[in-house]
C-alpha cells in the first residue's frame, strides 16, 4: 500500500462522457483516503460537471497553449504526492511529469510514468470506468464499485411541468459526429410507438448547435406530447436529465451523464462496440447490429438489441414500466 498522500491530482481531458467515467475514482479515493485533497485537471465544459461536487477539492482548467507554462508552475507548487493520468496522451503525460509528483498512467508508446499500468493486464469488467480504476489498484487500493455517479446541485427544469403525471422520457437524438446519429425518423417512430403503449411525454433535447436535429425529431412526433429544447449550459442539461425518468438517445456524453444520475438508458450505437461504454445489466440496453463486432467479444451481461424502431419501442416501454413499478 502506498503511503497516504496529502494531495493527489487526477488528469482527465476531452469530452463529457469520458469525464463521467472517472467519477468512480472520486468515490474510491474518498473511501480509502478521506483526508487526502483531491484535485482534478480537466477542460471546459467538463469543469461544469463538477463545480459543486463534494468529492473534488479543487478543479484546474486546461488553458490555451500559451497558458501551459503558468499552469505547470502552479501545479508544481501544490507538491502532489500522486498524479493519476487517466488518458496517457502526450499532453497529459507531459503535464503529469511536470508536476514533480509520483506519476501513474497507462502504458503507451513514448510515455513514461513512475508506475505504468498495462491495459492487457486488466482482470475486471470490460466497462471503461473499471479500467480507469486500475490506476488506483496499481498503488494498492482495492476499489470494486465502478458505477459512475454525478452529484450536482439541481434545480427543477421547467420543461417537465408540461408532462403532468405522464412518464417523462428525455430523448437526445444528437451527437457531434454524424456517423453516431440514428435517423430522426427512427427516433420519432420509436417515440410514437412508445407513447401508444405508455402515454409517455418526451423532452427532445440538444445542446448548442444541435437545434436542427432536435426540431427534425420534434416535427415528426405528431400528436405525441413533447417539448423541444436546446440546453445552453451543462448545468441546464443536468437539470433536464435529472427531471426525466428514462433516457433515450445516441451513443453520446449525455447518455453517460443520465446513467450517472441514476436513470435507466436506451442508447443507439453504430459501429463502436458498446461493451466498453455501457454499464452491465438490464437497466441499460443498447441498440446495435452485432455485425459490427467483427469477431471482437460481446459480453453476455449487456442487453444488446436489434437497431429497429419496433424493438426500441418495446425496450423503452419496458424501462418506463420498470421505473413506474419501483416509484
pLDDT tens per residue, range 237-277: 999 999 999 999 999 999 999 999 999 999 999 988 899 99
Task: Assess whether pLDDT exceeds 90 at residue 66.
Answer: no
- At 26, list the grid cell: 472520486
The 10 Å Cβ neighbour count of residue 42 is: 23
Tell me which of 6 and 2 has the higher pLDDT.
6
Q: Which tens digits make up the pLDDT trace of 197-244? A: 999 999 999 999 999 999 999 999 999 999 999 999 999 999 999 999
Task: Assess whether pLDDT exceeds 90 at residue 319.
Answer: yes
Instruction: Give me the sheet containing 7-11, strands edge to edge.
Output: 58-61, 37-42, 7-11, 82-85, 102-106, 115-117
Q: What is the pTM of this model?
A: 0.94
Q: Stretch 48-66: mean pLDDT, rounded?
A: 93
Question: What is the distance between the alpha carbons of residues 153 and 201, in angstroms, rounded to a whole number?
Answer: 25
Distances (CA, A) of 12 to 29, 61, 154, 181, 311: 15, 10, 24, 25, 36
C-alpha–C-alpha distance, residues 250 and 178, integer Å: 11
- In this predicted structure, what is the pLDDT of residue 128? 93
Positive or negative: CA dihedral 306, 311, 315, 316? positive
Q: Which of 110, 109, 163, 113 is nearest to 11 (CA)?
A: 113
Confidence check: pLDDT of 296 > 90: no
Which string of b and e fits 76-92 if b means at least 16 CB within 10 Å? eebebbbbbbbbbbeeb
Nearest to 238 by CA among 156, 147, 148: 156
User: How far is it, in rounded angstroms, from Cα 31 to Cα 191?
Assistant: 41
158-326 folds as Rossmann fold (3.40.50)
Query: Are 263 and 241 spatial neighbours (Cβ–Cβ below 8 Å)?
Result: yes
- pLDDT exceeds cutoff 60 at 1: no
pLDDT band of residue 312 (cuts 50, 70, 90) is very high
CATH 3.40.50.2000 residue ranges for the chain: 7-137, 158-326
Q: Looking at the domain that runs over 7-137, which CATH code has it been given?
A: 3.40.50.2000
C-alpha 180 chain-centroid distance: 16
**Structure confidence by residue, pLDDT tens digits, 122-181:** 777 889 999 999 999 999 999 989 999 999 999 999 999 999 999 999 999 999 888 899
pLDDT of residue 167: 98
Given CA atoms 274, 277, 282, 283 in this order, what sign does their dihedral have? negative
pLDDT at 267: 98
Amino acid at each position: 500500500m502506498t503511503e497516504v498522500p496529502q494531495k493527489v491530482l487526477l488528469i482527465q481531458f476531452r469530452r463529457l462522457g469520458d469525464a463521467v467515467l472517472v467519477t468512480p475514482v472520486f468515490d474510491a479515493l474518498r473511501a480509502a483516503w478521506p483526508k487526502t485533497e483531491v484535485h482534478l485537471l480537466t477542460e471546459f465544459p467538463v469543469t461544469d460537471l463538477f463545480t459543486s461536487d463534494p468529492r473534488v477539492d479543487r478543479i484546474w482548467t486546461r488553458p490555451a497553449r500559451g497558458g501551459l507554462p503558468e499552469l505547470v508552475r502552479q501545479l508544481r507548487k501544490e507538491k502532489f504526492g500522486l498524479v493519476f493520468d487517466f488518458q496517457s496522451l502526450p499532453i497529459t503525460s507531459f503535464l503529469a511529469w511536470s508536476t514533480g509528483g509520483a506519476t501513474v498512467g497507462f502504458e503507451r508508446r513514448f510515455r513514461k510514468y513512475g508506475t505504468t499500468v498495462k491495459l492487457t493486464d486488466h482482470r475486471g469488467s470490460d466497462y471503461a470506468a473499471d479500467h480507469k480504476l486500475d490506476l488506483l489498484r496499481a498503488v494498492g487500493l482495492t476499489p470494486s464499485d465502478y458505477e459512475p455517479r454525478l452529484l450536482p446541485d439541481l434545480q427543477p427544469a421547467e420543461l417537465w411541468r408540461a408532462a403532468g403525471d405522464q412518464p417523462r422520457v428525455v430523448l437526445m437524438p444528437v451527437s457531434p459526429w454524424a456517423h453516431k446519429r440514428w435517423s430522426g425518423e427512427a427516433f420519432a417512430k420509436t417515440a410514437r410507438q412508445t407513447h401508444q403503449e405508455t402515454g409517455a411525454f418526451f423532452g427532445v433535447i440538444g445542446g448548442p448547435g444541435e437545434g436542427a436535429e432536435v426540431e427534425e425529431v420534434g416535427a415528426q412526433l405528431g400528436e405525441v406530447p413533447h417539448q423541444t429544447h436546446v440546453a445552453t449550459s451543462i448545468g441546464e442539461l443536468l437539470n433536464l436529465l435529472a427531471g426525466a425518468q428514462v433516457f433515450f438517445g445516441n451513443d453520446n456524453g449525455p447518455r453517460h451523464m443520465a446513467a450517472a444520475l441514476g436513470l435507466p438508458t436506451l442508447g443507439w450505437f453504430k459501429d463502436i462496440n458498446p461493451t466498453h461504454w455501457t454499464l452491465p445489466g438490464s437497466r441499460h440496453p443498447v441498440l446495435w447490429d452485432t455485425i459490427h463486432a467483427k469477431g471482437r467479444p460481446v459480453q453476455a451481461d449487456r442487453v444488446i438489441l436489434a437497431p429497429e424502431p419496433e424493438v426500441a419501442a418495446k425496450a423503452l416501454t419496458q424501462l418506463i414500466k420498470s421505473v413506474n413499478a419501483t416509484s
